[in-house]
Amino acid sequence: LLRCTLALAALVACSAFLTAPVSPLGLRQNANAASARNFRTSQLSMQAADAPAKKTYGARAEALSKGFAHPEPVAVDADIREILPHRYPFLLVDKILEHTPGESAVGVKCITSNEPQFTGHFPDKPIMPGVLQIEAMAQLGGFIALQPPLSEPGQDFFFGGVDNVKWRKPLVPGDVLVMEMHVTNFKKRFGICKMSGKGYVDGKIAVEGDFTFAIVVDKKK
């Protein structure tokens, strides 16, 4: 009987050890606590999966804007005003991208809907007048002509003629006209300068022509 009592006591003690909560140094965990933690973890995982992905904005605009990027300008509005006598609303060159003195220049005209010519040309279908496209190119030519080595301070320039003009496509608000002018002939004695130019929109030619300028001394100065 004593032997059976001792065996029963040992069995009870072993069962109590197996079902007891684990201490920090123990090897087992309480089954109910572990189950609760697993349930909470599962809930958090489901909530994370159901949460909408965070949206990022601007990536498309950033990618598209790279297509409009121009090189660093060599002259901006303030610089152009120091060379050309034109002012609003007739200054038609916004910035100069390249300039080789006495030889060539590349400039930009950004066409916007708030320009005064569009109130009448045309109210329901704004198109940049062809004569203003030629004027913009002439002003770019003037940026070359009114600087050394073609001219000196105190000189001015005027249109002497324009030939072989061709308009390839209508220009509308939102277009960016990138123009290039090259000196083809210069007779300093007579103050006659000839140039050839082309203008492009989105990589396609929009306007071209040959120009003659007269560089003279402004007697008022």
Instruction: Indicate which residues carry an active-site annotation.
Output: 121
Cβ(195)–Cβ(152) below 8 Å = no
Side-chain half-sphere CA neighbours of 188 within 13 A? 6
- 6: enclosing H helix or E strand: helix 2-19
On whether the CB atoms of residues 197 and 142 are closer than 8 A, the answer is no
Count of CB atoms situated within 10 Å of the CB of 143: 20
Contact 157, 145 (CB under 8 A): yes
Distance CA 179, CA 185 (A): 19
Contacts of 77 (CB under 8 A, 6+ apart): 91, 94, 95
Q: Name the residue type at position 191.
A: G
Greatest Cα-to-Cα distance within the chain, rounded to the nearest angstrom? 140
